[in-house]
Structure 1
Amino acid sequence: MGIFCEINIAKAGNGEFRAGDVVSGSIKYAVDVNTVFKNITVSLKGVGNLYIRDTQNNKSSDYFNKEEYVDIDSVIVHEEVLLPTGQYETQFSFALPENIPPSFAYRSNEYDYYIKCKISYYIRIKFDRPGMLQLPVRFKKEIAVRTDLIPTLPRDPIIYAKQKKVIKLFAANKIMSVKANIENSVINGGETVRFNYEIFNDTNVEITGVEVKLVEVHKFKASGLYDVKRYKNIGAQHRTAGIKGGDTQKADFAITIPFDLRTLQYSNIAFRDYFVKIKVLLPSFRRNFALHIPIEVGDKNGEAGVHSESPPSYWEVMGECIKDKAFNDNGWSTDEDM
């Protein structure tokens, strides 16, 4: 006995569905012998799966997490029925929920952790036959989902500041201070984030330089394991001259955000956020310090909405499926390196 299936999904704009869109299409299926079914169910499903293997200390431990974003069923056969040999067709139409994360795939094997995470959405048809030993037969087809950014950061100018106390024996403690002003913390891919900073060195220790860069951070939450983070520098990093004791340095910056960057919201297992890092470099016997300016990156093809329940910001909470693509891990660093 064989079951054959073809799932056809109506095309979405740019090949991707957005939260709230209707996913519709048809399913053609056939049986090559007369077959009794007790249920035939068409479903729209969205799930997130996270797997982390911790290989520290010469031993391996596995950690998992999973969450469900959408699970809608349409039962087309709900009692035992004999389907004669032949071909059949059924239509489906489902609405994606509003507050869901986008499709997402990530894989990394760096720094004592193997991380694999996938958020996927798909149409599935399941054939159930009577009998304890009859396993269900399933067919599914994935859809790509993109979601619009719901801002949690201000669109107006905002100031961030940080100080470092420099301790010196037999002398009063002095401070180094960095203050930055960003025009807009909510940016679309392809747009430019503009900010300026002022660093005052009220010490007799010379600042050897200042590094400015855009950083992408992924955070993963597996059950029974502390949060695992991965950082990646985006684009070129900029370095300015040193600052002598008693001097002040001011600078203006404009960093263009790549088109393919997106903040990842509405997931409790995976987070993707961005920040501008202003790193003050000190002599080798001193510890560097940095100011992080959080930004959120959206999609200029969509419009940021205002929901009654916006997702928490990262900064507040600090088969027939398509195979995961391997990601290039060049440029990743550990939390300690940041």
Structure 2
Amino acid sequence: MAVSCEILIARTEDDVFKPGDLVTGTIKYFIDEPTKFEGISMNFLGNGNCWWTKTEGGAISVGNSETYVNKTISFYTGKSGEELSGAYEYPFQFLLPINIPSSYKDGNCVIAYKIIVTFVRTTRREQFEAEIPVQGYVTTSVQEPMLFGLQKKLFPVFTDSKIALRGELENVAVTPGTNVNLTIKVNNDSNNEIFVRTELIKCFTLMSNHGETSANIILVPNTTTGSNIEKNSEQSIKCVVPTFVNLFSIQNSNIVKGEYKVRVTIEIPFPYKDATVDVPVVIGKIIGGVIAPDPMKNEHCDEEK
């Protein structure tokens, strides 16, 4: 005896579902010979899991999980002496909740939405599943444009020099694949030629159910640009930081916080240290909201080395 099952989900225009969307489709299954079932059910499940290993004080595994949606429909309950065979269809529809995070997967975190069909017999259980790609809405309370600054103080023997940078981020919230535009004004009141670099940084933080966190900060490839600034000069530069269609912030989750930042760095010759400011941006489909980014550190000063 064999059961075959197809879960056919109606496609959307962009092949992803948004919070509040209606998910519709049909379950088609075929039973090749008369078989008695105790039940056939469908489960619409959205959940997230994260895990990692703490190394402080010995290796300890930590993690967290949460459920965003969990609905079950039993569309067949076994009847005494009844056997099923042949082809069957069952249409379905589910409504996605509003405040849910996007689908996501990496080596330490998975957020997934699935339809799971279960066939239960006395001696065995068979499951078939299909994934529903979800792209959650994101919010920001930051008004555009966002202003930011960075200052580097240098202390040579006879003169007091400094480098001051003032910037304007034109679009704090962008859709995936849209560029982030900046205007940066640099006052290089020093005897050093410097280099101003911009790039996109991915900052994803995992959160355990006991309050531990694990942050992973990486440079997004192919997003770095920069300009040379002559010594003892003032210059205004336009910068374009690209995003990509597969990048999106993650909100509305208690297991992972997914953020992106534009990192602006002043590169200064040795013996001075570089100075950096990270400016938060939100990537995704925007709706109005009240979520504010973490406070931004926007001034850096180093003593002479």
Fold shared per TM-score above 0.5: yes
Q: Report the Cα offset of residue 74 of structure 1.
A: 1.7
Q: 2:133 maps to which residue? A: 144
Q: What CA distance in whole angstroms lies between the structure 2 residues aligned with 1:82 and 1:16? A: 43
Query: Residue 160 in 1 paired to residue 153 in 2?
Result: no
Q: What CA distance in whole angstroms lies between the structure 1 residues aligned with 2:77 and 2:83? A: 17
User: Secondary structure at 2:248's aligned position in 1?
Assistant: coil
5+ unaligned residues in a row in structure 1: which ranges? 108-115, 319-338
CA contact (8 A) 2:101 2:251 kept: yes
Change (3 A) 1:84 1:199: same
1:123 paired residue among 93, 101, 115: 115
Query: Residue 306 in 1 paired to residue 288 in 2?
Result: yes
Q: 1:289 maps to which residue? A: 275
Q: Report the Cα offset of residue 93 of structure 1.
A: 1.2
Query: Residue 266 in 1 paired to residue 248 in 2?
Result: no
Q: Report the Cα offset of residue 223 of structure 1.
A: 4.3
Change (3 A) 1:36 1:234: closer
Q: Report the Cα offset of residue 172 of structure 1.
A: 8.7
Q: 1:64 maps to which residue? A: 63
Query: Residue 21 in 1 paired to residue 21 in 2?
Result: yes
Q: 1:188 maps to which residue? A: 175
Q: What CA distance in whole angstroms lies between the structure 2 residues aligned with 1:317 and 1:50? A: 27
Change (3 A) 1:317 1:271: farther
Change (3 A) 1:250 1:282: same
Q: What CA distance in whole angstroms lies between the structure 1 residues aligned with 2:217 and 2:156? A: 35
Q: Report the Cα offset of residue 49 of structure 1.
A: 1.9
CA offsets, 1:129-155, max 9 Å, x none?
56xxx564322111222234333432x
Query: Residue 178 in 1 paired to residue 203 in 2?
Result: no
Change (3 A) 1:235 1:195: same
Q: 2:301 maps to which residue? A: none
Q: 1:97 maps to which residue? A: 97
Q: 2:303 maps to which residue? A: none
Q: What CA distance in whole angstroms lies between the structure 2 residues aligned with 1:209 and 1:147? A: 37
Change (3 A) 1:24 1:296: same
Q: Report the Cα offset of residue 45 of structure 1.
A: 0.9
Query: Residue 253 in 1 paired to residue 239 in 2?
Result: yes
Q: What CA distance in whole angstroms lies between the structure 2 residues aligned with 1:45 and 1:82? A: 32
Q: 2:44 maps to which residue? A: 44
Give the alignment's Cα RMSD to 1 decimal: 3.3
Q: What CA distance in whole angstroms lies between the structure 1 residues aligned with 2:217 and 2:81? A: 54
Q: What CA distance in whole angstroms lies between the structure 1 residues aligned with 2:265 and 2:296? A: 23
User: Secondary structure at 2:240's aligned position in 1?
Assistant: strand
2:214 paired residue among 215, 222, 227: 227
Q: 2:36 maps to which residue? A: 35
CA contact (8 A) 1:121 1:145 kept: yes
Q: What CA distance in whole angstroms lies between the structure 1 residues aligned with 2:5 and 2:179? A: 47
CA offsets, 1:274-321, max 9 Å, x none?
22221011233322111222222235xxxx3335xx5x4553699xxx
CA contact (8 A) 1:6 1:29 kept: yes
CA contact (8 A) 1:42 1:92 kept: no
Q: Write the letter of the residue equivalent to 2:184.
A: Y
Change (3 A) 1:317 1:165: closer
Q: What CA distance in whole angstroms lies between the structure 2 residues aligned with 1:262 and 1:147? A: 9
Q: Report the Cα offset of residue 72 of structure 1.
A: 1.4
CA contact (8 A) 1:275 1:293 kept: yes
2:294 paired residue among 315, 318, 329: 315
Q: Write the letter of the residue equivalent to 2:294.
A: W
Q: Report the Cα offset of residue 34 of structure 1.
A: 3.6
CA offsets, 1:80-121, max 9 Å, x none?
6554131343222111111112222223xxxxxxxx322111
CA contact (8 A) 1:9 1:25 kept: yes
Equivalenced residue count is 294
Q: What CA distance in whole angstroms lies between the structure 2 residues aligned with 1:316 and 1:43? A: 41
Q: Write the letter of the residue equivalent to 1:94.
A: F
Q: What CA distance in whole angstroms lies between the structure 2 residues aligned with 1:25 and 1:51? A: 33
User: Secondary structure at 2:294's aligned position in 1?
Assistant: helix
CA offsets, 1:182-224, max 9 Å, x none?
222122234332221223345x563532212233333322445
Q: What CA distance in whole angstroms lies between the structure 2 residues aligned with 1:205 and 1:226? A: 43
Q: Report the Cα offset of residue 78 of structure 1.
A: 5.5
5+ unaligned residues in a row in structure 2: which ranges? 298-305
Q: Write the letter of the residue equivalent to 1:306.
A: G
Q: How does 1:196-211 map to 2 (within 5 A)?
A: 196-202=183-189, 206=192, 208-211=194-197
Q: Write the letter of the residue equivalent to 2:219.
A: K
CA contact (8 A) 1:207 1:280 kept: no
Q: Report the Cα offset of residue 11 of structure 1.
A: 2.5
